[in-house]
């Protein structure tokens, strides 16, 4: 529980967020938060029509392994202007999903539908949100109205099955190319991926906040 006028409010919120990760791994049925280990995401879509990467595609039934090992690096809460920012670092993530993709990546044509496995190392994420106060059943809650997710990783390794309708030679060539140029590809898609993640995280947070009135964790003095 943190107090709004506490000069150490940001540190209190950071510590509180950090202690939630083990509980999030198991899920918190009382506030209808699904387990975070692995984290299930129904779909993340990407559509980019310009630049070195021009693709449309999606990952469906995505399982993300490793988010419960995240560390909260800082929290900045501006209660007056209703802005909340926090940083998270994750040493390793493994993503498994069904995928579909069509387009060009660094001038290389890519098309496929199948299974994907992606390994990410040293993930760093900066989340910037705006929120508003609402009343629910006579108690104050917070709801996120907008979010920007900026992220980086130090390494990526992936495998996409069934590229080019199962052509093994072309599929192997594209997978090798993507692994060699993975960080550049991520950089090209960063904005689109960030927007997709924002949509997912807003839903997760707002669903949790409905069950967490501010008098339980952000007490008025």
Summarised one tens digit per residue, pLDDT across range 162-195 is 999 999 999 999 999 999 999 998 888 888 888 8
Specify the CATH number for the domain of residue 117.
Answer: 3.15.10.30
Return the closest-CA partner of residue 46 out of 201, 202, 186. 186
Summarised one tens digit per residue, pLDDT across range 13-72 is: 999 999 887 777 777 777 777 777 898 899 998 888 777 889 999 999 999 999 889 999
Q: What gap in Å lies between CA 134 and CA 213, rounded to an integer?
A: 10
User: Residue 63 belongs to what domain range?
Assistant: 2-219
Whats the size of the chain, residue-wise?
Answer: 221
**Percentage with pLDDT > 90 across the chain:** 68
Q: What is the pLDDT of residue 155?
A: 95
Considering its fold, how many domains does the chain have in total?
A: 1
Residue 66 phi/psi, 5-degree rounding, is 115, -10
Q: What is the pLDDT of residue 39?
A: 87
Q: Which residue in this structure is represented by tokens 């150490």?
A: 8
Q: What gap in Å lies between CA 67 and CA 93, rounded to an integer?
A: 7
Q: What gap in Å lies between CA 189 and CA 44, rounded to an integer?
A: 13
DSSP 168: H
Q: Which helix (H) or strand (E) holds 203?
A: helix 182-210
Summarised one tens digit per residue, pLDDT across range 117-141 is: 999 999 999 999 999 999 999 999 9
């Amino acid at each position: 529980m943190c107090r709004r006028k506490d000069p150490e409010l940001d540190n209190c919120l950071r510590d509180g967020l950090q202690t939630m990760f083990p509980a999030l791994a198991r899920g918190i049925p009382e506030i209808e938060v699904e387990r975070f280990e692995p984290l299930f995401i129904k779909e993340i879509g990407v559509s980019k029509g310009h630049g070195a990467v021009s693709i449309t595609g999606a990952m469906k039934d995505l399982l993300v392994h490793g988010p419960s090992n995240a560390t909260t690096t800082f929290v900045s809460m501006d209660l007056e202007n209703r802005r909340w920012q926090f940083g998270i670092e994750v040493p390793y993530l493994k993503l498994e999903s069904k995928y579909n993709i069509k387009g060009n990546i660094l001038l290389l044509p890519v098309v496929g539908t199948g299974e994907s496995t992606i390994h990410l190392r040293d993930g760093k994420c900066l989340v910037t949100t705006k929120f508003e106060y609402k009343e629910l059943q006579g108690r104050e809650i917070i709801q996120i109205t907008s979010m920007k997710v900026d992220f980086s990783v130090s390494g990526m390794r992936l495998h996409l099955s069934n590229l080019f309708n199962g052509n093994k030679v072309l599929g192997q060539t594209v997978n090798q190319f993507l692994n060699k140029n993975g960080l550049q590809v991520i950089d090209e898609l960063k904005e689109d991926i960030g927007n997709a993640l924002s949509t997912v995280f807003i839903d997760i947070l707002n669903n949790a906040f409905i069950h967490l009135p501010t008098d339980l964790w952000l007490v008025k003095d």
